[in-house]
Amino acid sequence: MAELRAEVLVLGAGMVGVGAALHLQSRGRDVIMVDRQELAGEGTSFGNAGIIECASVFPYMFPRDFGEILRYALNRAPQVRYRLRDLPTFAPWLLRYFRASSPKRALHSAMAELPLIRRSLVEHEALIREAGVPELLQRNGWLKLYRSEPTLKAALRDFERARQYGVEGDILDNAAIRLREPHLSGDFAGAIHLPAPAFVPDPGGLVKAYVALFRRKGGRFLAGDARTLEQASRGWRVSIEQGAVNAREVVVALGPWSDLVFERLGYPIPLGIKRGYHLHLAARGNAVLNRPVLDADQGFVLAPMNRGIRLTTGVEFAPRDAPPRPVQIERALPKAHGLFPLGEAVDARPWMGARPCLPDMLPVIGRAPRHDGLWFDFGHQHHGLTLGPATGRLLAEMMTGKEPFADPAPFAVERFG
């Protein structure tokens, strides 16, 4: 069996793992990236709305409004879905999520992540230039639609708060909505257009383009099983199809599957899962969607992907590996057809993925305290596509002894004991 060697082994070839691998490589490290899939970007990074959300100051925290909580609890909100029999599996995590979402702690999370959010688009632009795929970045921003006065009023309060941190946007009436998106239908209380965020019309393709860049620069990408990771005499060892890889240091960037490694090594990290679904549909006739559009009241996003119009859902709380239950897609479809002229489905069935979340909605980034050479980079909640290259820079700076561009302390695993 072949025994390959590298300085750093990165486990996971989604946007987060690829971001870390590229930044380590650019700082002179010999890196091997290992994933269970032979193609990169086939897991969580494949399914999202494609938005590089550089205007998202405040993370998705647990709501504090009792009426909203009650609607979620009764499964009456399209944004959230669960089955009662699954509740015991995620209720303890939800309680931690609720506690971490107090106004004081939520603001702490927002301010900790803000330097990463602000860096996100800059990092992507640099990598996209180097990878030579400018067609995978569009600059039309995205649109948030509100059908009722109460939801618009709440959104405007949040928008005014975000403006304090440099977020820019336009408040639109129905006429202004039609100017930006002539093929949308419906009566709306209003909308907010955020022009700064960029859009990626093929998120999985962008990950693959970054991996191609990694390989052109001498990196190696191999198929293997992260569950075989073990400490070796000179670092860490993992099995691959051709034999094994040995490296002095290892980065766990496995997203929702990171627990397969850290639990076995004795780290009590409260990793939770928010599942989500998408389905691609053709546009009817000459209808065009110019940017991603959120229907806030109905709980879905339409995004103009290369494959078709991608309908994405909100959150399903369920065990990560439970069979798919695309109820949210089924319920959103007629509403999506009413919003935009959609034709037949392009996909044979809805796609399902899992968002890796910590209760405070901050990732774990940094050194594992009880194992030399072990590093963590996972738990990016709804912002894996957005933050992967930025957190890759932060991690690489920490691993190579450089001054981090952001304070890494809020992301340390020690915050969980």
Q: Single out the residue of 378, 379, 261, 276 nearest to residue 17, CA to CA.
A: 378
pTM, to two decimals: 0.96
* pLDDT value at 2 more than 80: no
Count of domains for the chain: 1
Q: Is residue 212 part of a domain?
A: yes
Q: Is residue 335 part of a domain?
A: no
* pLDDT value at 1 more than 70: no
d(CA 107, CA 105): 5
Q: Is residue 213 part of a domain?
A: yes
Q: Is residue 107 part of a domain?
A: no
Phi, psi of 309 (to 5 degrees): -75, 120
Q: Is residue 103 part of a domain?
A: no
d(CA 5, CA 25): 15
Q: Is residue 304 part of a domain?
A: no
d(CA 102, CA 108): 10
Domain of residue 232, CATH code = 3.50.50.60
Chain segment 196-213, per-residue pLDDT in tens: 999 999 999 999 999 999
Chain segment 282-333, per-residue pLDDT in tens: 999 999 999 999 999 999 999 999 999 999 999 999 999 999 999 999 999 9
Q: Give the SS3 label for residue 384.
A: helix
Q: Is residue 390 part of a domain?
A: yes
383: confidence class by pLDDT, cuts 50, 70, 90: very high
Domain residue limits at 238: 2-47+204-270+360-416
**Which structure tokens are listed for 73?**
């609890």
Q: Is residue 237 part of a domain?
A: yes
Where would I find the beta strands (DSSP E) of 107-240? Answer: 142-146, 170-172, 190-194, 198-199, 220-223, 230-232, 235-240
* pLDDT value at 252 more than 70: yes
d(CA 304, CA 55): 20
